[in-house]
Chain A
Amino acid sequence: MSESKRSIESRLLRGAHRTLTGLSPAVESLLAAVVGLLIGAILMYIWGFNPWKAYIALFKGAYGGSYEIASSLARATPLILTALTFSICLRSGMFNIGAEGQLFMGATASILVAYMALPAPLGQIVGLILAAIAGAAWSLVPAFLKLTRGVSEVISTIMFNWIARWLVLYLAIFILGDPNRAEKTLSIPLAARFPVMVRGTDLSYTIFVSVAFALLIYFVLWHTTVGYEVRAAGLNPTAARYGGIRNKRTMFLSFILGGIAAGLAGATITMGQPPTYAIYGGAAMPQLTNVGFDGMAVAMVGRNHPIGIIIAAVFFGGLNAGGRVMQFYGSNPVPLELVRVVMGAIVLAMSIPELIRIFPSVKKQGQELVGLFRRLTRKPVKEEQA
C-alpha cells in the first residue's frame, strides 16, 4: 500500500472518528438547547400563548426560506465575533464579560471613516482596523488591572460596559451626530459600506469578515505557538509555567484578541447593516445592545470552539431572526423578548455539567453510537500504526 494513499484514507477516517467521539459535547449543547426551548414553551403556556404555534413561526422565520436564512445569517454575523471574544479569553482562563462595551467602542470608531474620503476597499479596511483598535484598547485596561492589581476582570469589564454605553451615547449625540437627523450618528459613507449579499435582506459581506476571523482564531489557537500557549495557560497554568510559558503575557494577549473581535463585531453592524449604516436609536441603541451578552451564550453553546461558535451563532441568529417573525404571527403573537428567555434558559442548562447524566437513556444511546463507530473505524486506525 503506497504511503500517500494509506495516509489520506486513514487521515479521513481519523478525522471522522475524532468528530464522532467529539460529539459528546455537541450532544450536550443540543440537549441544553432543547431544555431551553422547553422552558420557553412552559413560560409561554403560563402566559397564555400557544407554544407550538409560536415555535413553528419561530423556525419558519429563521430558516423557512432564502430570505429568512439570510436574515438569520445577518444576525449571526456579529454574534460569531462577540462569542469569540468570550471564548478566546476563557481559553486562557479569564472571564471577559466586556464584549458589550468593546463592541460599542468598535462601532463608534468605525464611524470615523465618515470623516475620511476613502475609496473602496480602503474604506472598509480602515473602518475595520479602527474598530479593532478601539475594541482592543477598551479591553486593555481591565486586562491590565487584572494582571497587575488582581482586580476581578468580571467586575471591571462590566463597569467598562456601562461606561462605554454612556460614552458612546455622548459621542453619538454630540460629536458624531448627524446634523440632519437627530437620533443617529453620521452614516458610513457609501464607499466604505459592505455591499449586501442577498438583495432585499440585511445580509452583507460582513459575514465573511466574521467567518474569516473565526477561522483565523482557529488557526491561531491550534496551529501557532501563541495559541498553544494560550490554551496551555488556561488548562493547566502550573504545567504551562513549568513549560516555560509566561502566563500573564499570554492572558494579556488573549484579552487583546478578544477586544479586537468585539470591536470588529461593532464594525460589522455599522458597516454592514442597511438601511442606516450608523448608530441610531437614542439611548436604547437597539442594534448594538445585547449583542455582546448574546455572544457569551453562543460561545458556551458552541463549546468555545470557533467552528462550534459559527454553528451556534447561526442557531442563535436564527432565534433572533425568527423571533422577529414570530412576534407578528397569528392572533396572539409571542413577543420577541421570549427569545432571550430561551437563550438564558439554554445557558443555565449548559451550566449543569454532564446534563446528560440527567437523561441516562440519551447518554446510553449516544455512547452506543459512538462505540459502534469506533469499532468500525478501529481497524484502519490500528493498521496505520503498524
Chain B
Amino acid sequence: MSLNDILSLLRISLHAMVPLALTAVGEIIGETAGLFNIGLEGILLMSAFVAVLGAKAGGPAVGLLVGMGTGAFVGFLFSVINTYWKGTQMVTGIGINLFAMGFVAFGLIQLGAPGFHDVPKAAELAKLRTPMGAMSPLILVALVLPFIVFWFLKRTRAGLMLKAAGEAPEAADVAGININRIRLYATTFGGLLAGLGGAYMSVAWMGLVTKDLSAGRGFISLACVVFSGLNPLLALLAAFIFGLFQGLAEWVKTLPSKPIPAQFVSMLPYIITLLVVSGAIGRVRFPKSLGEPYKRE
C-alpha cells in the first residue's frame, strides 16, 4: 500500500466511524441511565431520510437539525413507553425498526425512485479540503463529543445522577432522584445523537439515502457500546476500528484484481463485530457496570 492508499483508507475509516461513534455515545448515555434501545437502527434510517427532506428544503444545516429532531423524538417516544408506561424495551425497539423500514421505503417512493434517492449537491454538507482529501467537518464532532460526554458522566452531578438511576434505582430514589425523568432525558438525548449520525450519513457523507442505508450500523453501534463498557472513549475507539474495517472493505473493492469476492468483503464488518463482542479479540471486560443497567427494566 502506498502512502496515498493509507491516507485514503484513513479518510474512509474516519468517515465510517462517525455514525457509529455518535450513535454509540448516545446509547451509552441511555444505557447508563438504564434503558436498552435496540431501535437505534430504525432511528438512523429514519433520520437519514428526514434529514434529506429538511436539507432539500433549507440546506444542509436544516437537514442536520431535522435529523437530530427526528432522533430525539423517537428517543423520547421510546423512553415514555418504557418508563412511564412500563413497556417492554425489546418490543418497542423492534417496532421502531420495522416502522422505520416501512416509513423510509414508503417515503422514498414519494420522492421519486423506489429505494434510493440522490441528495442534490446544494443540500449536502460541504466537505473540507484537507491534505487527506475531502473530509466532513462532522468527523471533528464525532472525535470531540466522546470526550465531552466522558467528562459529563464522570464529573458532573447530573452524570452521577444518571449512573445512579441505572445502577441502583432504589438508592437513587431515596436520594430524591426522579428515575423516570432522568431516563427520559437520557434516551431523548441519545436519540438526538443517533439522529445526527443518521443525518450525517445521508447529508454529509454519502450524499444519498437508500432504504437500507443503515445496513446494521445501529446494531454495530450496540456492539461498540458493549465493547466500551459504557465508556465513551472506548466506544470511539471501537467505532474507529469498525470504521477501519469498513474502509478496508471499500478499499479491497477498488483493487484491480479481486482477491476476495465482494460479498465476503461485505461480511467483514459483521464478522469483526461478532468476534469483538465474543471477546475473541481480547475485549476489555466490564462485568458489573455492564450487567446492571440492563436489568433496570
Instruction: Classify chain A: how many residues form its interface, as a range.
Output: 35 or more
> Which segment of B63-71, B230-238, B273-281 sits at the interface?
B273-281
Q: Are B102 and A158 in contact (CB under 8 A)?
A: no
Q: Does A45 contact B (CB under 8 A)?
A: no
Report which of A47, A155, A296, A297 forms a contact with B219, defined as CB distance below 8 A.
A155
A17 to chain B, nearest CB (A): 29
A340 to chain B: which residues have CB within 8 Å?
98-99, 101-102, 105-106
Per-residue interface assignment for chain A, residues 147 to 188, with 1 indicating a CB less than 8 Å from any chain B CB and 0 otherwise = 001011011101111110011011001100000000000000
Residue in B closest to A357 when the chains form the complex, CB atoms = B85
Q: Does A352 contact B (CB under 8 A)?
A: yes
Q: Does A321 contact B (CB under 8 A)?
A: no
Q: Are A149 and B278 in contact (CB under 8 A)?
A: yes
A111 to chain B, nearest CB (A): 17
Q: Are B266 and A166 in contact (CB under 8 A)?
A: yes
> Which segment of A130-138, A202-210, A331-339 sits at the interface?
A331-339
Interchain CA distance A163-B105 in the complex, whole Å: 23
- Chain B 68-124 residues near chain A, CB threshold 8 A: 81, 85-88, 90-92, 94-103, 105-110, 114
B94 to chain A: which residues have CB within 8 Å?
97, 293, 296-297, 300, 347, 351
Given known A-B contacts A155-B219, A337-B105, A344-B103, A351 and B81 have beta carbons under 8 A apart? yes
Q: Does A24 contact B (CB under 8 A)?
A: no
Interchain CA distance A174-B258 in the complex, whole Å: 14
Interchain CA distance A152-B226 in the complex, whole Å: 9
Which secondary structure dominates chain B's binding surface?
A: helix
A335 to chain B: which residues have CB within 8 Å?
105-106, 109-110, 114
B226 to chain A: which residues have CB within 8 Å?
152, 155
A160 to chain B: which residues have CB within 8 Å?
270, 274
A50 to chain B, nearest CB (A): 15
Q: Does A145 contact B (CB under 8 A)?
A: yes
Q: Are B219 and A167 in contact (CB under 8 A)?
A: no
Instruction: Classify chain B: how many residues form its interface, as a range.
Output: 35 or more
Q: Are B88 and A353 in contact (CB under 8 A)?
A: yes
Q: Does B162 contact A (CB under 8 A)?
A: no
Per-residue interface assignment for chain B, residues 175 to 199, with 1 indicating a CB less than 8 Å from any chain A CB and 0 otherwise = 0000000000000000000000000
Q: Does B38 contact A (CB under 8 A)?
A: yes
A158 to chain B: which residues have CB within 8 Å?
216, 219
Q: Does B223 contact A (CB under 8 A)?
A: yes
A223 to chain B, nearest CB (A): 28
Given known A-B contacts A167-B267, A300-B91, A347-B98, A341 and B273 have beta carbons under 8 A apart? no
Residue in A closest to B279 when the chains form the complex, CB atoms = A149
Q: Are A338 and B92 in contact (CB under 8 A)?
A: no
A342 to chain B: which residues have CB within 8 Å?
102
Residue in B closest to A39 when the chains form the complex, CB atoms = B99
Interchain CA distance A296-B91 in the complex, whole Å: 9
B223 to chain A: which residues have CB within 8 Å?
155, 159
Q: Does A345 contact B (CB under 8 A)?
A: yes
Residue in B closest to A145 when the chains form the complex, CB atoms = B278
- 10 CB contacts below 8 A, A to B, read A151-B277, A158-B216, A159-B277, A162-B215, A166-B263, A169-B263, A173-B263, A293-B98, A340-B105, A344-B102
Report which of B92, B109, B261 forms a contact with A351, defined as CB distance below 8 A.
B92
Q: Does A55 contact B (CB under 8 A)?
A: no
Which secondary structure dominates chain A's binding surface?
A: helix
Residue in A closest to B90 when the chains form the complex, CB atoms = A95
Q: Does B271 contact A (CB under 8 A)?
A: yes
A152 to chain B, nearest CB (A): 7
Interchain CA distance A47-B87 in the complex, whole Å: 30
B134 to chain A, nearest CB (A): 28
Q: Are B95 and A347 in contact (CB under 8 A)?
A: yes
Given known A-B contacts A335-B109, A337-B106, A156 and B277 have beta carbons under 8 A apart? yes
Report which of B96, B102, B274 forms a contact with A339, defined as CB distance below 8 A.
B102
Output the residue of B95, B101, B222 with the most chain A CB within 10 A.
Answer: B95
Q: 10 extra interchain contacts, Cβ-Cβ under 8 A, other than A293-B94, A337-B114? A: A152-B277, A155-B273, A162-B267, A163-B270, A166-B263, A174-B261, A290-B101, A293-B101, A344-B100, A351-B88
Residue in B closest to A350 when the chains form the complex, CB atoms = B91
A350 to chain B: which residues have CB within 8 Å?
91, 95
A95 to chain B: which residues have CB within 8 Å?
90
Interchain CA distance A223-B44 in the complex, whole Å: 44
Q: Does A43 contact B (CB under 8 A)?
A: yes
Interchain CA distance A297-B99 in the complex, whole Å: 11
Interchain CA distance A170-B38 in the complex, whole Å: 29
Q: Does A271 contact B (CB under 8 A)?
A: no
B277 to chain A: which residues have CB within 8 Å?
151-152, 155-156, 159
Report which of A154, A296, A351 forms a contact with B87, defined as CB distance below 8 A.
A351
B66 to chain A, nearest CB (A): 15
Q: Does A348 contact B (CB under 8 A)?
A: yes
Nearest 3 pairs between A and B by C-beta? A344-B99, A340-B102, A344-B98
A145 to chain B: which residues have CB within 8 Å?
278
B138 to chain A, nearest CB (A): 25
Q: Are B270 and A352 in contact (CB under 8 A)?
A: no
B222 to chain A: which residues have CB within 8 Å?
152, 154-155
Residue in B closest to A344 when the chains form the complex, CB atoms = B99
